Chain A
């Protein structure tokens, strides 16, 4: 069965520094997708970045990059140059199946990131 694990309930980072949020996953499928979402206090889910299981390059989107280590089944999110607006809950999620199948997501427990001025 699918499982996503985020072991850091809360993290602090100084403004302008980089931070890594951990995510490990478990699946028996060869084809899957990994997502990171940001959820501010308003509750909306903001898509940050996606990594497909067959993607050879680590995904990057602006200040976000995904450190994908397939053999270790980890998909850590790296946020560079943290900003005060980055303070939020961050969720790692996984979808089994190919990228255009739009399947259900299984979420990790989340990490609450606080950026200090």
Chain B
């Protein structure tokens, strides 16, 4: 199956700083990527849909100025958590779909963010 990578796999940052998470489709072109957030023992919540070459579509309740998404190419989307606070600590997972991926969504391994 198709491979999606995320970097970093985990990060610890201080409150007030910004953190960038990368999501790459390694062997296919992803016209659409999705960003999810997952708190411990909870489900995945969709944050935004990222389309190559256009602005991301955010789900209701997600602050677009805080969670900046850029889909610069068909293989790379980035999520930047700006001015991070402890409540932003979570597991962030991206997935890639569309293009050659067909009906499946291929998930990245996730990034665990801890804000101190």
Contact = CB atoms under 8 A, between A and B. Distances in A.
Could you tell me the dominant secondary structure of chain A's interface residues? loop
A99 B110 contact: no
A32 to B, nearest CB: 11
B93 A50 contact: no
Contacts of A50: 103-104
Given A50-B103, A102-B97, A102-B101, A107 B110 contact: no
B46 A99 contact: no
A100 interface: yes
Interface stretch (A22-30, A39-47, A60-68, A76-84): A39-47
Given A102-B32, A105-B46, A109-B43, 13 more contacts: A47-B104, A47-B105, A101-B103, A102-B97, A102-B98, A102-B101, A102-B105, A103-B97, A104-B49, A105-B34, A105-B95, A107-B45, A109-B42
17 contacts: A42-B109, A43-B38, A43-B109, A44-B107, A44-B110, A45-B44, A45-B107, A47-B104, A47-B107, A91-B43, A91-B44, A100-B103, A102-B97, A102-B101, A102-B105, A106-B46, A108-B43
6 smallest beta-carbon distances between A and B, as pairs: A102-B97, A102-B98, A99-B103, A45-B107, A43-B110, A107-B43
Interface of B: 1, 31-32, 34, 38, 42-46, 49, 91, 93, 95, 97-99, 101-107, 109-110, 112
